Each structure stands twice: as structure tokens, then as C-alpha cells.
Amino acid sequence: MEFTPRAAELTTLLENRIINYYTDLKVDEIGRVVSVGDGIARVYGLNEIQAGEMVEFASGVKGIALNLENENVGIVVFGSDTAIKEGDLVKRTGSIVDVPAGKAMLGRVVDALGVPIDGKGALSDSRAKTC
């Protein structure tokens, strides 16, 4: 079967689109809360999580993975655990918890994540290092 000029043009166009097709696919590992109490959430399904990795609960509350077991992960909740319920989704962030350090931190009051809570605004030194 011989292609007509129009069919050849269409074939070339489709081939170029296929070759240049790019998808920015991001896969998140999520788990589910099995139990929560006393600032600790037990989560099932986060099989690849690292110790010290930050997670985010469906309610927006953050936590740190500390107790890695075969069946579940123990996560210390940063803040109140009252917004977290059994069955809620938990998402890995892929980042290890760190706190900025540097001259911008001198005289400032920050929470466990290094977010200023002293009412003086954001940290001014963009060169603040993390430790």
C-alpha cells in the first residue's frame, strides 16, 4: 500500500508527536492510619519509608517516621492528633526532617520544623543551612 502525500504527512506528524511525548508522572506512596493516640499514629502501607522521613496526613498535619516495623510504621505527630482518624491517608514527602541553622536563627523562636512562631515573620537569611 502506497501512502499519499497527505497520509505521509500525517504519519510523520504522528511519529513526531509520539517521539516527543513527555509525561511528568509523579507517584506518591501512601498509607492508611491503623490507630492513633498520645501523639503517635500507626500507619500501614508505607513500605519504602525511611527513618526520620516527614509524612503528611490528609488533614495537613505533619509527622516524622521513627518506628519502622514489618507491618506498620510508628509516626510521631507534630501538633494535635485530634484531626487524624483511623483510615485517613498518609503521604510520604520524600524528605528527611531537618531544621535550618545559621545567623537568621539567632534570637528566634521556631517550632520542631524550623517554622518561626515568635511573630517576627519569616526567616530573613536565605542562606540558612539545614543540619
37-78: per-residue pLDDT in tens? 999 999 999 999 999 999 999 999 999 999 999 999 999 999
pLDDT at 31 over 70: yes
Domains, the chain, in order of start with CATH, read: 30-96 (2.40.30.20)
- Give the C-alpha separation, 57 to 79, whole Å: 12
Q: What is the mean pLDDT of the chain?
A: 87
pLDDT surpasses 60 at 104: yes
Q: 117 is written with which cell numbers?
A: 512562631
Identify the residue whose cell numbers are 492513633: 36
Mean pLDDT of 80-96: 94
Which one has a higher pLDDT value, 105 or 65? Answer: 65
pTM beyond 0.85: the answer is no
Average pLDDT over residues 83-110: 89
Task: State the pLDDT at residue 130.
Answer: 54
pLDDT of residue 59: 94
Percent of the chain with pLDDT over 90: 53
Does 94 have pLDDT greater than 80?
yes
CB atoms within 10 A of CB 77: 21
> What's the CA gap between 98 and 66, in Å, rounded?
14
Distance between CA atoms of residues 8 and 5, nearest Å: 5
Q: Is 17 helix (H, G, I), strand (E, B) or coil?
A: helix
Which range among 29-43, 61-75, 101-115 shows the weakest confidence by mean pLDDT? 101-115
